[in-house]
Amino acid sequence: MKAKLPFLIAIAALLGSAGLRADETKAEPARKRAAAAAPDAAKREEARKRREEAEKLTPEQREARRKEASEKREARIKVLQEKKKAGTLSETESRQLERLEAQNARFKKAAEKAKETPKTAETPKADQK
């Protein structure tokens, strides 16, 4: 029995340490996910602040921002299309061009729809007798 005791202790130690290593490997991806989520949380917070700021703008300021963003987007599209014609467009830039063109089309469609739709102010109600 005394000869088996060190052997059993060694087996117990190995089994116990294997369990600890398993816990470490489970915790490691969680730490990596937490570290990766930190930039996402910062981006979400920044986006929330921008939305709050945009809500405080007057309609004229909002229109100016939309126009500025549209000009910036169209300028970038123009640069990317020139690169495409020259044949120097990378894969990343190609995807960006596709996204920007789709985004530009959505904004133009929304602008046309907004022009067609009359703004509904409070209409005076007919006299009710």
**Same domain, yes or no, for 73 and 39?**
no
More confident call, 6 vs 17: 6
* Whether this model's pTM surpasses 0.75: no
Give domain status of residue 120, yes or no. Answer: no
**Same domain, yes or no, for 71 and 107?**
yes
The total domain count for the chain is 2
Residues spanned by the domain of 31:
25-56
**Same domain, yes or no, for 69 and 107?**
yes
- Written in H, E and C, the secondary structure of 111-129 is HHHHHHCCCCCCCCCCCCC
Give domain status of residue 16, yes or no. Answer: no
**Same domain, yes or no, for 107 and 74?**
yes
Give domain status of residue 69, yes or no. Answer: yes
* 20-29, 30-39, 43-52, 116-125, range with greatest mean pLDDT: 43-52
- pLDDT mean across residues, the chain: 81
CA distance 25 to 64: 52
Residue 111, pLDDT score: 86
Tokens at 73, concatenated: 């987007």
